[in-house]
Amino acid sequence: MEKDAAWKRIADLRNIIEYHNKRYYQQDNPEISDAEYDRLMRELQDLENRYPDEYSETSPTQRVGAAPLAKFAPFNHPSAMFSLANAFSNEEIIDFDGRTKRLSGVDNISYVAEPKLDGLAVNLIYENGIFTRGATRGDGATGEDVTQNLKTISSLPLKMKKIKEKPIPSFIEIRGEVYIEKESFKKLNLRRINEGEEPFANPRNAAAGSLRQLDSKITARRPLNIFLYGIGDIKGIDFSTHKEALQTLSGWGFPVNKLIEQVQNINACIQYFEHIGAMRERLPYEIDGIVLKVDNLSLQKILGNVSRNPRWALACKFPAAQATTVVKEIFVGVGRMGTLTPVAIMEPVNVGGVMVSRATMHNEDEVLKKDVRVGDTVVIQRAGDVIPEVVKVILDERPIGTKIFEMPKHCPDCNSEIVRMEGEVAHRCINISCPAQLKEHIRHFASRGAMDIEGLGEKVSAQLFDAKLIQDPADLYYLTKKELLELERHAEKSAQNLIDSLENSKNPPLDKFIYALGIRHVGERTAKLLAARFGNMEKIITAKQEDLTAINEIGPEIAASIVEFFHEQKNIDVMNKFRKAGVKPQKKEIAADNALQRKSFVLTGTLESMARNDAKLIIENLGGSVHSSVTKKTTYVVAGSEPGSKLDKANSLGITVLNEKDFLKIIGR
Ligand code: IVH
């Protein structure tokens, strides 16, 4: 490509990708598929690699993560990051207002009231409108430099938008909170469980763990979000109120929470506290209270700080929903990857309006750290929507004769040996034929995000397995109606329905099938990347480590896990059984009508409306093929601007030549 054309394409791609980032992350309304998005990113990355002069620190490619770090560099905050004094009752809120008035000598103070987000605080530096560095809070004076990781947060502008109200300052520190939405958190944990990894305890830990990843490519795959709520040092301009600062931040393109309000007096603050408290459960993110800030910035200065807390702000905390109950049993479950998970089974109890009887404790270390024993009275807590957790044991109420929890030495299901791998917190059953694992594996295969086979939930999967009708997911396709009818709870209709759902599931989208196989570390996103890159199962099965790591988001660990999976004899047998049963995954975007079936194309010149790679994919998705040289067998030559010698060859062979407009018509655009 000509340098100018390349430059133009780079600029276009950057805009297009930022547009789609907004649609996806801010408006929750994507316009294109993940595969198309990945293609745009790859095209941009390729062009930037080829034209390094066009490097830009605000390009969307800067968001995908950089080489892993050995450790984070310390980061000295230009101005200290304070924390907040807490209030737990209306009286304490009123006291705060009284103190503020007394100390400032002003008796009508207006505040800005904000939700108190339960994430982790960060400090961002923008120089002349460009995001240059960012860090965690740390001890308030020094944090960790997590610039690369922050860049992966799509809702964070890498460049400030110009507005007419305020010039872009030459230097500004912007403070905010990185968080993960409740829904994304649930999905992330499901993904982790499916990939055989430890789930996070709550969205806050998930956000912190993700932001403090040394490998920013991992951070890039985490659904991090950010809200900005304050300013530290600033050069060249200033604000008179906090409200004005927030409005300006929003104008510059920073996400600012929509629930923030200016409130005229302390009674209105209390009303706000109650109002936000009432809607807390319905919010898409977790909050643990509200923050009140004196609106007038000169007043803030007069009030100053006391030790590490400003006197002009207050955190009003919601009481956590807690309850006490008794642990009846500590049950140990076996997951699909053989991970053992202790779960406290308790006397059912109402925690903030929800009946709770189980609390997952993730691993042995967690049970031992809290020293939870059968018979103990425990305090349990439910924060927002999140899974209930055991906060602590009430030792005074411990009965005599309780025993310290011990992880079983043998699998509770198959009695095989349990091992704890070096460097892992998890204990695993390493028997690959462990029935509990196999049942989980079959359940996963049939589940909604995977093959979505109706009528094949946890119970039926286990039933089929226990009746020895199936050993692995491929066996499902050999079930007969007669066999089903012999099982309990299966009548003519349900048996026929299951047979039909299985039959109908024989041409799954390729990415769903890959995900359904349950390869360690391969979640929905990786499955999509594999499907888009390789197009069919055979190519994925035979892919080498380096073919896999060539994909942007696939690192050596995921690649090794995929290669290993397809080398295992047991899995090779299962894949053969799928093939014999007629299970044939389809490349996702094959259009219903194979309009270009058996038509062969040669592309020459530059197309205005799309990159050549995109044109190629579209043709292939419609069943056609694309070749590099013109022969008698070529059906069409598509000629963009400045076509090469291929056009002459087409003319001499009498092959139909399509201009861009004709081409768009044939592909239905
Ligand atoms: S203002 C000096 N505003 O709460 C002002 N903090 O306990 C410092 N937080 O470290 C922070 N939402 O992580 C502020 N709207 C909000 C907040 C907020 C959450 C967190 C932040 C801070 C902690 C202080």
CATH no. for residue 613? 3.40.50.10190
The answer on 253 and 110 residing in a single domain is: yes
CATH no. for residue 394? 2.40.50.140
| Protein residues with CB under 6 Å of any ligand 1 atom | 82-84, 114, 116-117, 121, 137, 177, 229-230, 291, 310, 313, 315
The answer on 184 and 106 residing in a single domain is: yes
The answer on 563 and 526 residing in a single domain is: yes
Q: How far out from the chain centre does Cα 399 lie?
A: 43
The 10s digit of each residue's pLDDT in 528-542 is 889 888 889 999 999
CA distance 316 to 143: 25
The answer on 652 and 612 residing in a single domain is: yes
Indicate whether 36 belongs to any domain: yes
pLDDT at 88: 83
Helix (H), strand (E) at residue 7: helix 3-21
Indicate whether 118 belongs to any domain: yes
The answer on 193 and 117 residing in a single domain is: yes
Task: Give mean pLDDT, residues 582-611.
Answer: 78
DSSP one-letter code for 217 = H
Q: Give the distance (Å) from ligand 1 centre to CA of residue 379.
A: 27
CA distance 522 to 512: 11
Token reading at 160: 């400030």
Domain boundary among 469, 504, 539: 504
Q: Give the distance (Å) from ligand 1 centre to CA of residue 75.
A: 19
Where are the alpha helices (H) located in 195-281, listed in sequence order?
Answer: 203-211, 216-220, 242-251, 266-279
Domain boundary among 523, 550, 581: 581
Cα-only R_g, the chain: 29
Report the share of the chain in percent with pLDDT over 90: 58
The 10s digit of each residue's pLDDT in 69-107 is 778 999 999 999 999 998 988 999 999 999 999 999 999
Q: Residue 515: phi, psi to the nearest 5?
A: -60, -40
Indicate whether 415 belongs to any domain: no
Indicate whether 69 belongs to any domain: no
Q: Count up the domains in the chain and report the number.
A: 6
Residue 384 above 70 pLDDT? no
Query: What is the band of 639 on the pLDDT scale with cuts at 50, 70, 90?
Result: very high
pLDDT at 467: 94
The answer on 238 and 383 residing in a single domain is: no
Q: Give the distance (Å) from ligand 1 centre to CA of residue 291.
A: 7
Q: Does 116 qualify as catalytic in the annotation?
A: yes
Residue 475 above 90 pLDDT? yes
Q: Which of 384-398, 488-502, 587-601, 636-650 has the lowest mean pLDDT?
A: 587-601
Q: Residue 565: phi, psi to the nearest 5?
A: -55, -45
Residue 168 above 90 pLDDT? yes
Q: Of the listed 101, 116, 539, 599, which one is catalytic?
A: 116
CA distance 512 to 494: 25
The answer on 278 and 210 residing in a single domain is: yes
pLDDT at 28: 57
CATH no. for residue 544? 1.10.150.20
The answer on 613 and 571 residing in a single domain is: no
Residues spanned by the domain of 650: 600-666
The answer on 439 and 516 residing in a single domain is: no
Report the share of the chain in percent with pLDDT over 70: 97
Token reading at 659: 């201009």
With vertex at residue 56, the alpha carbon angle to CA 52 and CA 60, rounded to the nearest 5 degrees, is 110
CA distance 613 to 8: 17
Indicate whether 426 belongs to any domain: no
Indicate whether 590 belongs to any domain: no
Handedness of CA 476, 520, 209, 554 (dihedral sign): negative
Residue nearest to ligand 1 atom 16, measured at CA = 116
Question: What CA dihedral angle connects 569, 571, 575 and 576, to 10 degrees?
Answer: 30
Q: How far out from the chain centre does Cα 31 lie?
A: 19
Residue 66 above 80 pLDDT? no
Question: 10 Å Cβ neighbour count for 415?
Answer: 13
Indicate whether 452 belongs to any domain: yes
CB 277 within 8 A of CB 259: no
Task: Give mean pLDDT, residues 145-149.
Answer: 95
Indicate whether 652 belongs to any domain: yes
The answer on 290 and 166 residing in a single domain is: yes
Single pTM value for the model: 0.57
CA distance 219 to 207: 9
Helix axes 34-50, 524-534, angle to 10 degrees: 70
